[in-house]
Amino acid sequence: MVQEYTKIKGVARQPVVRIVVDAHLSYLDSGAVRISWRVEDAFCQEQQHYAHDILWGRSPTDEFQLAGTTSDLWFLDEDRQLDHRLNLWYAIRTRHTLTGKVWYSPPQRVGQSWGVEDWRLARNIVRQYRVRLTKGRAGKRGFLLKRVNVGPACPECTDKDTGEVLDPSCTACWGTGIVGGYYPPIEVHLEGMPDRVMRKLDATQGMLSEVVKDVVFLAFPPIDTNDYWVDATTGIIYKFQSDLATIAELRMVPILQRARVTVEDRGNIIYEYPFPNG
């Protein structure tokens, strides 16, 4: 494994960039390590032809082993165990399934921002809040639907010249313009304030009303604008807006976040998405 890393030193262009080994909250919250990454823009059009092998070791010079393979841009490793030294390292081997070309990323260590005491403090905070969300009356159970931001353009509904989505009700991309549209749903508990109605004046449509809610949640998995969350009890789907904020952090690592969500219109194609039942 060390020799394979040495061979790629100095290579400027490879598909995988910005690797984040998110062992902070992901491990504390679910007992798993989450690895996420981004694909360089120049490689996005062939995203469907990449397979990512997730490799792990106990040091950057270790003989790395395979943890799993995915075609997504994130991976949840539920089989590794952290010790008090947080000595887990991850790297990504990306394979082009048609050409056979292979790239290796540099290894990344878990918990790079935290020391052992920080990690223990965060563990207690997360466990207490998780109990509040899952055992008390404050939290609501639901499923997070994270939007895919890179990948091949949908051949069913996008304009070949402009990339514009021509059919917002397309079930091949769920109105996103990217094949698949969303990653598989993830169970997520939110603490939500009561729904309220906000009114705003539109130049063309007059006075408009929309139902909004402020929610608080653990900062894993990371939530972005335009992601969706469906209430497991009511089936109502909420859309995350741009005003995401961190309300608790440890050494610049978010622990708790707050967001404003709006109730999605029942006519939106997202209500036909196959969410888990109950």
- pLDDT class of 128 with cuts at 50, 70, 90: confident
One-letter amino acid at 171 equals T
What is the spatial distance between Cα 47 and Cα 86, in angstroms, rounded to a whole number?
32
What is the spatial distance between Cα 168 and Cα 101, in angstroms, rounded to a whole number?
36
Q: Which residue has the higher pLDDT, 183 or 16?
A: 183
* pLDDT confidence of residue 175: 93
Q: In whole angstroms, how far apart are CA 271 and each of 140, 154, 171?
A: 19, 20, 11
Helix, strand and coil percent figures for the chain, each rounded to 5: 15, 40, 45
* pLDDT confidence of residue 112: 60
Distance from first CA to last CA of the chain, Å, rounded?
A: 44
- pLDDT class of 238 with cuts at 50, 70, 90: very high
* pLDDT confidence of residue 29: 54
Write down the architecture of domain 130-272 according to CATH: Beta Barrel (2.40)
Domain limits, the chain: 2-112, 130-272
The yes-or-no answer to whether 2-112 and 130-272 have a common fold is no
For the cut 60, the answer to whether the pLDDT of residue 5 exceeds it is: no
- pLDDT class of 15 with cuts at 50, 70, 90: low
* pLDDT (tens digit per residue) in 244-264: 888 888 776 778 899 999 999
Nearest to 16 by CA among 110, 109, 42, 253: 42
Average pLDDT over residues 215-242: 90
- pLDDT class of 12 with cuts at 50, 70, 90: very low
Q: Which residue has the higher pLDDT, 209 or 4?
A: 209
Q: What rounded mean pLDDT belongs to the chain? A: 79
* pLDDT confidence of residue 115: 67
Average pLDDT over residues 135-140: 82
Residues 6+ apart with CB under 8 A from 278: 232
Q: In whole angstroms, how far apart are CA 20 and each of 112, 117, 172?
A: 10, 21, 29
Nearest to 218 by CA among 262, 194, 186: 186
- pLDDT class of 135 with cuts at 50, 70, 90: confident
* pLDDT (tens digit per residue) in 49-69: 788 899 998 888 888 999 999
* pLDDT confidence of residue 235: 94
Average pLDDT over residues 86-115: 79
CATH superfamily of this structure's domain 2-112:
Immunoglobulins (2.60.40.10)
For the cut 70, the answer to whether the pLDDT of residue 20 exceeds it is: no
Q: What is the 3-state secondary structure (H, E, C) of 144-199?
A: EECECCCCCECCCCECCCCCCECCCCCCCCCCCCECCCECCCEEEEEEECCCEEEE
* pLDDT (tens digit per residue) in 182-227: 988 988 999 987 777 776 666 666 666 777 889 999 887 778 889 9
* pLDDT confidence of residue 200: 67
* pLDDT confidence of residue 19: 61
Three-state DSSP state, 59: coil
Q: Which residue has the higher pLDDT, 151 or 27?
A: 151
Q: Which residue has the higher pLDDT, 114 or 194?
A: 194
Three-state DSSP state, 80: coil
Phi, then psi, of 259 in degrees rounded to 5: -150, 160
Angle at 275 between CA 270 and CA 278, to 5 degrees: 130
